[in-house]
Amino acid sequence: MSTANPRHMDAAVIAARSREDVVVGDEIVRHRLYSRLVHWTVALTFAVALLTGMPIWTPVFGWMAHLFGGLTVCRVIHPWAGLAFFLAALVQFFEWMSDMRVEPWERDWLGPRTLRYMRYEEDDPRTGKYNGGQKLYFWAVSLGAVGLLLSGLLMWFPRAFPRWLIEVAFLVHDFTFICFAVSLVFHIYLGTAAEPGTFRSMIRGTVTRPWARLHHPAWYRKLTGEESRRTGV
Ligand code: HEM
């Protein structure tokens, strides 16, 4: 049960409209309103692009077309939703870029460290606002968004480009969206069920002090001036 003071909680929500990385009572503001709106725009435009794209991709997912009024409608909506997704991802890129520098000691997140993390075995007192896995995901999403845009533009205007290039574009587009869809399952799982208290950072904008101390100890130390749970660090 939460022991947070309700008056502080309201103050935290108000602060989270415009500020982040600040401590307000028992909570810490993690994502200001603008960041959250951008993130949900990325999620929504991606969902529309995915759901309209899958029935175009293969008849196996033809039933999804009914959600939008048929395959012809999907073909019209899909490239525009894709373009909107790219623009939202671009804004998100500039919003989060400064926090996403991968430090040399975080590079092994590309390897077995991610598996240790998924088994709740990862525990590094140097972890700042984002861990190495989140940073790598950010860069992968940003690169993937460029890949989807470029390949999508080629497929949108096929007559303007040579046939072989269009075929490469199909491969790039399909490979990238499949990687996105699979990684998104892990992303949503980690942001909700696997780590209780994370999802509220994208709704209220805030997290609790224990959450920050547990998952992002260096960020916690920086903002509160207190030690994280490890003594002497
Ligand atoms: C319903 C879908 C989604 C949910 C529930 C969700 C949830 C979250 C949450 C809770 C965070 C904050 C994590 C933190 O503060 O530590 C976050 C961050 C992030 N989200 Fe999402 N998200 C969704 C969709 C997407 C989509 C579609 C993309 C991109 C295609 C995306 C890309 C990112 C990135 C790059 C970050 C920052 C790095 C990270 O925390 O992993 N998200 N998301």
Whether residue 182 is contained in a domain is answered as yes
The best mutation among 136, 187, 188 to test binding of ligand 1, ranked by most ligand atoms within 8 Å of the C-beta, falls on 187
For residue 126, the model assigns a pLDDT of: 95
Q: Give the three-class secondary structure for 22.
A: strand
Distance 39 CA to ligand 1 centre (A): 7
Whether residue 13 is contained in a domain is answered as no
What is the per-residue pLDDT across 147-158, written as a single tens digit (0 to 9) for each? 999 999 999 999
Task: Please tell me the residue having the least CA distance from ligand 1 atom 6.
Answer: 188
Whether residue 229 is contained in a domain is answered as no
- Cα torsion angle, 179, 154, 96, 17, sign: negative
What is the per-residue pLDDT across 187-204, written as a single tens digit (0 to 9) for each? 999 999 999 999 999 999
Whole-angstrom distance, CA of residue 135 vs CA of residue 51:
27
One-letter amino acid identity for 36? R
For residue 233, the model assigns a pLDDT of: 42
Confidence label for 227 from pLDDT (cuts 50, 70 and 90): confident
The best mutation among 30, 32, 39, 211 to test binding of ligand 1, ranked by most ligand atoms within 8 Å of the C-beta, falls on 39
Q: Quick one: DSSP state of residue 194?
A: S
Whole-angstrom distance, CA of residue 121 vs CA of residue 75:
45
Report whether pLDDT(232) > 80: no
What is the per-residue pLDDT across 20-43, written as a single tens digit (0 to 9) for each? 999 999 999 999 999 999 999 999
Whether residue 15 is contained in a domain is answered as no
The owner of tokens 């309700």 is 6
Percentage of the residues of the chain whose pLDDT score is greater than 90: 87
The whole-number average pLDDT for the span 92-101 is 98
CA 225, chain centre distance (Å):
28
Whether residue 11 is contained in a domain is answered as no
For residue 7, the model assigns a pLDDT of: 62
Confidence label for 123 from pLDDT (cuts 50, 70 and 90): confident
Whether residue 232 is contained in a domain is answered as no
pTM of the complete model? 0.91
Whether residue 1 is contained in a domain is answered as no
Percentage of the residues of the chain whose pLDDT score is greater than 70: 94
Instruction: Count up the domains in the chain and report the number.
Output: 1
Domain residues for the domain of 47 are 21-224
The whole-number average pLDDT for the span 58-63 is 97
For residue 119, the model assigns a pLDDT of: 87
Ligand 1 contacts (CB < 6 A) are: 30, 39, 42-43, 46, 130, 134, 137-138, 141, 184, 187-188, 191-192, 198-199, 201-202
CATH at residue 97 = 1.20.950.20
What is the per-residue pLDDT across 71-82, written as a single tens digit (0 to 9) for each? 999 999 999 999
Whole-angstrom distance, CA of residue 52 vs CA of residue 176:
16
Report whether pLDDT(1) > 50: no
Whether residue 113 is contained in a domain is answered as yes
- By the 8 A CB rule, do 181 and 141 touch? no
Whole-angstrom distance, CA of residue 130 vs CA of residue 218:
10
How far from 138 is each of 52, 130, 132, 186, CA to CA, in Å? 24, 10, 10, 13
Task: Please tell me the residue having the least CA distance from ligand 1 atom 9.
Answer: 191
Whole-angstrom distance, CA of residue 206 vs CA of residue 24:
9
Rounded to the nearest integer, the mean pLDDT of the chain is 94
